[in-house]
Amino acid sequence: MNPYTRDDLITFLSSQGNDYEQLKQRALEVKKSEIGNKVFLRGLIEYSNICRKNCLYCGVRKGNKNILRYELTDDEVYQCADLAMKLGYGSLAIQSGERNDSKFTDKITELVYQTKKRSNNTLGITLSCGEQSEEVYRQWFDAGAHRYLLRIETSNEELYYKIHPQDATHDFQTRINALQTLINLGYQTGTGVMIGLPFQTIEHLADDLLFFQNLNVAMVGMGPFIAHQDTPLWQYHTLIPDIETRMQLTLKMIATLRLLMPKINMVAATANQTLYEDGREQAVLAGANIIMPNLTPNQYREQYLIYPDKACVGDKPMQCSFCLKGRMASINHEIIYNQWGDSKAYTEKA
Ligand code: 5AD
Ligand code: SF4
Ligand code: FES
């Protein structure tokens, strides 16, 4: 049963002025009654910026020769995990450029397994390491990863091929199949899109929301598109909405999705903070309930610039922890420490 039609979604996404304020207010009330004024944390580890792909929007794309490639050592990963526990972050998110050689996939298996063991199974682990075979996804699940984030980027096939090279490595259907495989394997699965892409319309965005609903995902991470100078998509940067419009569009997407899928986990993406200093707070007030403070050792952060001017690049994990506490208190939200913060959309289904 869908309480909202596609036209309703388009109306929400087009709202202005008072209607726009009311939309966010309604979403905040739905979140309060379903989840509470709470935010869960995922300590983010940007494991490696080595990537076999060439997504036309991404600063970490294989074709970008202007960055140094790195991979954290095992010890660095375990230090991040220890820090997460010390700071009371109940869950980790391990993100990486996409690689599908067994040296990489086996390494992730080992890191997941050892981290779970080291934390006595107290840390939750979300992986975000791109498209993989069913076998690899199963191997990582068996090692202890229980959540997986794979953004579809856009659910519109035509737009997908405008922002990706048209070749077998960037196949739209393969990505959809990968999401389905993750769901079938039992992962708490998340997806998401970028908002404010060149050539993207309100109708595309409404269809993205329906795509999330049809797949019945447990988590969504979506954020504004930020053009990167060293990428092919930069040539269209004059076609993207201005900062204020993109921020509002992002908040409308978050608020509308909270109405559509009241129980899911939704990230207040760091990219929001690139647009506005209080961008993440605004996202939380529009219905988001997850924040991903960065744990990556500082010397690597500048090499993981998927988009320019990323927030917190110069800040130490301790600073972010302290900063977030203040930021959430300022908007009357409580940070929940030492819990996995599973999506109710998943736990109530299981
Ligand atoms: N602006 C915003 N988000 C981006 N991503 C990649 N490039 C950009 C960009 N230029 C997002 C994609 C990807 C995630 C790792 O980062 O959605 O899935
Ligand atoms: Fe690689 Fe992901 Fe960037 Fe695409 S978006 S180039 S898969 S890191
Ligand atoms: Fe990183 Fe505020 S969250 S400095």
- Whether residue 269 is contained in a domain is answered as yes
Domain that holds residue 119: 6-347
The 10s digit of each residue's pLDDT in 248-275 is 999 999 999 999 999 999 999 999 999 9
Using the mean position of ligand 3's atoms as its centre, give its distance from the Cα of residue 288 in Å: 17
- Whether residue 117 is contained in a domain is answered as yes
The 10s digit of each residue's pLDDT in 117-133 is 999 999 999 999 999 99
- Whether residue 255 is contained in a domain is answered as yes
- Whether residue 50 is contained in a domain is answered as yes
Residue of 46, 51, 230 to test ligand 2 pocket, by largest number of atoms within 8 Å of CB: 51
Residue of 319, 321, 328, 335 to test ligand 3 pocket, by largest number of atoms within 8 Å of CB: 319
Residue of 312, 318, 330 to test ligand 3 pocket, by largest number of atoms within 8 Å of CB: 312
Nearest atom in ligand 3 to the alpha carbon of residue 323 is: 2
Whether 290 is in the pocket of ligand 2, judged by its Cβ within 6 Å, is no
- Whether residue 1 is contained in a domain is answered as no
Nearest CA to ligand 1 atom 7: 58
Nearest atom in ligand 2 to the alpha carbon of residue 49 is: 8
The 3-state secondary structure of the chain, one letter per residue: CCCCCHHHHHHHHCCCHHHHHHHHHHHHHHHHHHCCCEEEECEEEEEECCCCCCCCCCCCCCCCCCCCCCECCHHHHHHHHHHHHHHCCCEEEEEECCCCCHHHHHHHHHHHHHHHHHCCCCCEEEEECCCCCHHHHHHHHHHCCCEEECCCECCCHHHHHHCCCCCHHHCHHHHHHHHHHHHHHCCEEEECEEECCCCCCHHHHHHHHHHHHHHCCCEECCEECCCCCCCHHHHHHHHCCCHHHHHHHHHHHHHHHHHHCCCCEEECCCHHHHHCCCHHHHHHHCCCCEECCECCCHHHHHHHCCCCCCCCCCCCHHHHHHHHHHHHHHCCCEEECCCCCCCHHHHCCC
pTM: 0.97
Distance between CA 24 and CA 30 in Å, rounded?
Answer: 10
pLDDT at res. 350:
56
Say how many domains are in the chain: 1
- Whether residue 162 is contained in a domain is answered as yes
- Whether residue 342 is contained in a domain is answered as yes
* Maximum CA extent, the chain: 54
Please report, for the domain that includes residue 12, its CATH number: 3.20.20.70
- Ligand whose nearest atom lies closest to the CA of 292: 3
* Segments of the chain with pLDDT less than 50: none
pLDDT at res. 14:
98
- Whether residue 130 is contained in a domain is answered as yes
* φ, ψ of residue 40 in degrees (nearest 5): -100, 150
Distance between CA 261 and CA 280 in Å, rounded?
Answer: 20
